[in-house]
Chains A and B, each alone.
Chain A
Amino acid sequence: MKAMPDNTLAARYSARRRRNGVATILAYGATAFGLGWLVLILGALLWKGFSGLSIAVFTEMTPPPGSAGGLLNPIAGSLMLTVVAVLIGTPIGILAGTYMAEYGRYDRLSSVVRFINDILLSAPSIVVGLFIYEIMVAPMGHFSGWAGGVALSVLVIPVVVRTTEDMLTLVPNALREAATSIGLPRALSITHICYRAARAGMVTGVLLAVARISGETAPLLFTSLNNQFWSTNFNAPISSLPVVIFQFALSPYKDWQALAWTGALIITMAVLALSITARALVPSGKQS
């Protein structure tokens, strides 16, 4: 390097320090900005939703405009839809993940499925709603709880596939070899050894999937639709919390809007509790 006069060097040095200082301040600012939204949104939810929280919310049906009521039927509907979605989606997801991690870890099918699954993972959920409308609602001729459950299960599958595959890949091969050496067939070594070793991670996957679907509105809008009344009939439209929030929040009635905020608070707390539990379940390893 050429020798430079001292004052230019010093000027350059302080310019570099200044630039570093500016970048550092910006980075701190950006982090505060990002965390600020979390605080603002949760704050608004608590502020607006907490005042409406009462026993009636959990014991009474959705009211007609202008009278008091609760959110019992949408809460029950959401729970039922979630159960159906998990019951359909989890076995398929676990089996597919098992194939990719155990039988076909290096074959072409697995890498194609992995690619497609990753795309399904972030595909727009409203498109899933349209898909289920086309294959279930339109042929059956009416909206139904089943259609809503299946639509949500389409969102469950990719999450479960991904975590199952990741967690099974983490199981040490020595375990599989030990199982094979005592004569255990492959299927048993997977179900009795690998699943057990990867159980915490696989449960996490299911919890994350539940967290993901419990706030989903778009795929339910034209599959399970909505129901003003108590209904457990899955062949008919069924009420769900997100759809009720959508309908009530956009209505001009003050009581409906207040109920929407309360519902929003309930969903958010449930989702946050689920995702924190899921995180706590995974010991220290990385998760996707």
Chain B
Amino acid sequence: MALSDRIVVPAQALARTKALNRFRIGDKVFQRLTRAAAIGVLLLLSGVIVSLISGSLPAFRTFGLSFLFSQRWNPVTEIFGALPAIYGTVLTSFIAMLIAVPVGLLIAFFLTELCPQWLRRPIGIAIELLAGIPSIIYGIWGLFVFAPFLQATLQPFLINTLGNVPGIAPLFAGPPYGIGLLTSGLILAIMVLPFVTSITRDVFEAVPAVLKEAAYGLGCTTWEVVRNVVMPYARVGIIGGVMLALGRALGETMAVTFVIGNAHRISPSILAPGTTISATIANEFTEAVGDLYTSALIALGLILFVITFIVLACARYMLMRIERRIG
């Protein structure tokens, strides 16, 4: 008995050390693994940047900086300039924000102050479902339903009214094509509306109730509370949300590709067909023959990535600031 005790105890101790070691090693391995995955996310982004830069080198080597400012896009003679695509991207996003920001703010106002409690969640979810609809659905709907509708109604109206106003007439010149820059901008507006709404609603809700109650106590109307208390308090968050939505609008591909018309030119009229960076890539990349053509398209992708990166980084920075203030 005594003998077996003497033998068993070291064996147990040995097993215990072994188990402990296994735990320790397992722990280390798991920690390294998670750390590697986290670093992998960083590598992913740097990989995107590096591959885009290396892919676009031939284009920039051939055209230099004039690639950014040239209006010509001719695959046959292999002369490429990015300006029409950049112009289309910026203009369509601008139209989208012009509509989506005020409407989104008003919906947030409705959801936080006016809406009865029981309706808040359903309406909030419905608005977010809009965000869940894939962009290709907006595209097909835009091409077959929305564009013909605009061609028959809004566009002739704009041409007949604003098209005669001196000064802004060139903006609304030309025949109503249906598709074009304005249509793309409007579809983008519908697409980014849920982003603006849900973020502004969140920052509106984060405004301390005491502030609002104090304002109501002074006799402010609902609108005055929102205008003078809620919006100033939530300003940074609103700007962050708007920039986030802008980032989406700038990079949106499929919805725009269907209705933009894919015309590489800058025309003063917003009713005319144009192109955007993403639409150009989507339409032409698989058909691009020759290294220079491919490289020019990748260079367009690089420009798009740099623009959206800056916009999104600003947005995240602002949203982080407001989170820190709340938290």
A→B interface (CB under 8 Å) = 16-17, 19-20, 23-24, 26-31, 33-35, 37-38, 40-41, 44-45, 48, 91-93, 95-96, 98-100, 102-104, 109-110, 112-113, 115-120, 122-128, 130-131, 133-135, 154, 157-158, 161, 185-188, 190-191, 211, 214-218, 221-222, 225, 242, 245-246, 249-250, 257, 260-261, 264, 267-268, 271-272, 275, 279
Contacts and interface: CB of A to CB of B under 8 A. Distances in A.
B48 A24 contact: no
Contact of A125 (B128, B129, B253): B253
Given A92-B40, A127-B305, A27 B110 contact: yes
B248 interface: yes
A221 B139 contact: no
Kindly list the 4 A-B residue pairs having the minimum CB-CB distance in the complex, ordered from nearest: A215-B134, A124-B251, A95-B37, A30-B106
Interface stretch (B64-72, B151-159, B220-228): B220-228
B172 interface: no
B26 interface: yes
B197 A261 contact: no
B214 interface: no
Given A20-B224, A123-B251, A96 B134 contact: no
Given A30-B103, A249-B143, A217 B312 contact: no
A85 B150 CA distance: 38
Contacts, number: 266
Interface string B285-327: 1100000000001100100110011001100100010000000
Given A38-B126, A41-B137, A127-B251, A113 B42 contact: yes
A109 B134 contact: no
A20 B109 CA distance: 12
A253 B135 CA distance: 22
Contacts of A271: 132-134
Contact of A131 (B23, B52, B102, B254): B52
A187 B221 contact: no
B216 interface: no
Nearest to B190: A37
Contacts of B301: 126-127, 130
Interface in B121-144: 123, 125-130, 132-141, 143-144
Interface stretch (B5-13, B27-35, B74-82): B27-35
Interface of B: 23-24, 26-27, 29-31, 33-42, 44-45, 47-48, 51-52, 54-55, 102-104, 106-107, 109-111, 114-115, 123, 125-130, 132-141, 143-145, 190, 193-194, 197, 221-224, 226-227, 244, 247-248, 250-254, 257-258, 278, 281-282, 285-286, 297-298, 301, 304-305, 308-309, 312-313, 316, 320
16 contacts: A23-B223, A31-B110, A41-B137, A95-B34, A130-B285, A131-B48, A134-B298, A187-B31, A190-B30, A215-B137, A216-B134, A217-B136, A242-B136, A249-B144, A272-B132, A272-B133
A189 to B, nearest CB: 10
| Majority secondary structure of chain A interface residues (helix, strand, loop or mixed) | helix
B27 A41 contact: no
A41 B133 contact: yes
A187 B137 contact: no
Contacts of A100: 38
